[in-house]
Structure 1
């Protein structure tokens, strides 16, 4: 296991290694450590969660979907507002069945309970003002891409109105419909079809899902030790601590964030996977430029072919 954080190397070599978190970054536990953690990242949440500027730069990170859903449910229940519950319509794609009447083997309750990474759940509990994240590309020109964060402004039976809070389309009000989709990675011998709003509440998100997001206030909730086997884990600071911010640094961060969001919303899924781990907009642009145009040597060769 090899952890590399910042400018140094931690835990080189084989075996178990532990990372010591600076004391000033640790929230001291009390009788309700979960609530204390939430208060540190979302102070006065019930009074400010409708404020776009308050929500757009904050997020909780969790190691697994189970932890993320537990935190989101806890936060939703603590906020005043009318709850709206949306249930999906689930079925098995007939074209994926290899056995006659195989769909009879799987009851609708079983299908409803299936959960997949990056896929909407059967039941969504929503309130006006909650931050949500898109789980599918709907309209890249309008900024509705996988990973786009929005705030719910209206809840209707068949559509959700929300306001984009990141990217070049920030502030734009859009409508999100129910769509029918299938999970891209499933262990089951059939293809699930689920008609649901392609969103998830994102007070909390998984560490992997936070890649590409620009956040100023980040809380990490680790209810149990986590381990990484055979993988390289890269961490970057969301930004410097408040005491080190200045106007020039904030301006540079905001420019880089806007450029990254604009690029992420304008590329295909394959291209996104190629640049997802890059945090500097200029480096992302160079990767895409090389992909489409080739290296300087390739360009010179093409130019020579055209002029001879």
Structure 2
């Protein structure tokens, strides 16, 4: 459990969420709330987007769905004051079946619109200073694994120069990321499988709660425009940060009670517990 000893009350609160003791909803106190996404961005990234790598990578926004994650990442990219680079993938249908004639007629534009789980998008919009996350293991010995967050430092036509931190060190290390072949195979009958030649990254100021498992941060924002829908998402989200004082929640449309508290859905499968 990602907490420090002084946060006993927060630790107990997390435990009650994870075990389902709080029931199907969690009360979010007024002190933990913000009233707009802009306020959420300001709280999480209060040092700006040009902070040192070890500082910036300890800041994160979470949301249950890709719909809100993509919206937030697009908004923050637009805030950054640097030239924009757009990288388009090369997509091709693939099949081991020589009689799959339907693939030959499959519109590449349709492939461009697909983004299966774990695959980079056809259209990646980046700026220097953007936070990105790796979607593949590039070098496990150097800690460049699926889920590693890093900061874009330079952008070239066929190369992304990025900086991250390694292990417990706060020193930044520079790496170069090239385009790679990303393969998607749909095993259902008559479904298309395809190859995407693209950088194995995604913008990651904001991540889905599921993708953020294993992350630890010092400033955390949670956007529940779409509420948690799967087992353990609420616990996973709040436990990414060591202190409740460093968490803010944006919950549009939620009506507060007389004390200013709001409720957040807590999905816990009975018979499953967190230790």
Smaller-chain TM-score range? 0.7 to 0.9
* Contact 2:65/2:226, CA 8 A, preserved across alignment: no
How many pairs align? 232
> Closer, same or farther in 2 for the Cα pair 1:40/1:185, shift >3 Å?
farther
Could you list the per-position Cα deviations for residues 121-179 of structure 1 after superposition, in whole angstroms to 9, with x for gaps in the alignment?
00011111111110001111222111111111111111111111353575111111100
Residue of structure 2 in register with 1:269 after alignment: none
Say which SS state the counterpart of residue 80 (structure 1) adopts.
coil
Residue of structure 2 in register with 1:156 after alignment: 156
Residue of structure 1 in register with 2:213 after alignment: 211
Residue of structure 2 in register with 1:24 after alignment: 31
* Structure 2: tracts of 5 or more residues without a match: 1-11, 247-273
Residue of structure 1 in register with 2:111 after alignment: 111
- The structure whose residues are more often strand, as a share, is 2
- Structure 2 distance, partners of 1:23, 1:119, is 38
User: 1:70-219 maps to which residues of 2 (within 5 A)?
Assistant: 70-95=71-96, 97=97, 99-167=99-167, 170-183=171-184, 189-219=191-221
- The structure whose residues are more often helix, as a share, is 1
* Contact 2:116/2:184, CA 8 A, preserved across alignment: yes
Larger radius of gyration: 1
User: 1:180-259 maps to which residues of 2 (within 5 A)?
Assistant: 180-183=181-184, 189-228=191-230, 231-233=231-233, 234-235=235-236, 236=239, 238-241=241-244
> Closer, same or farther in 2 for the Cα pair 1:92/1:75, shift >3 Å?
same
* Residue of 16, 39, 43 corresponding to 2:42: 39
Ranked by relative contact order (alpha carbons within 8 Å, sequence separation 6 or more), the top structure is 2
Runs (4+) of structure 1 exceeding 4 A deviation are 9-13, 184-188
Say which SS state the counterpart of residue 216 (structure 2) adopts.
coil
* Contact 2:60/2:205, CA 8 A, preserved across alignment: yes
* Structure 1: tracts of 5 or more residues without a match: 244-277, 280-308
- Structure 1 distance, partners of 2:95, 2:77, is 37
Give TM-score scaled by structure 1 length: 0.67
Say which SS state the counterpart of residue 118 (structure 1) adopts.
coil
> Closer, same or farther in 2 for the Cα pair 1:195/1:116, shift >3 Å?
same
> Closer, same or farther in 2 for the Cα pair 1:186/1:6, shift >3 Å?
farther
- Structure 2 distance, partners of 1:217, 1:57, is 7
Cα drift, residue 225 of structure 1: 3.1
Give TM-score scaled by structure 2 length: 0.75
* Contact 2:54/2:172, CA 8 A, preserved across alignment: no
> Closer, same or farther in 2 for the Cα pair 1:20/1:160, shift >3 Å?
same
- Structure 1 distance, partners of 2:13, 2:245, is 20
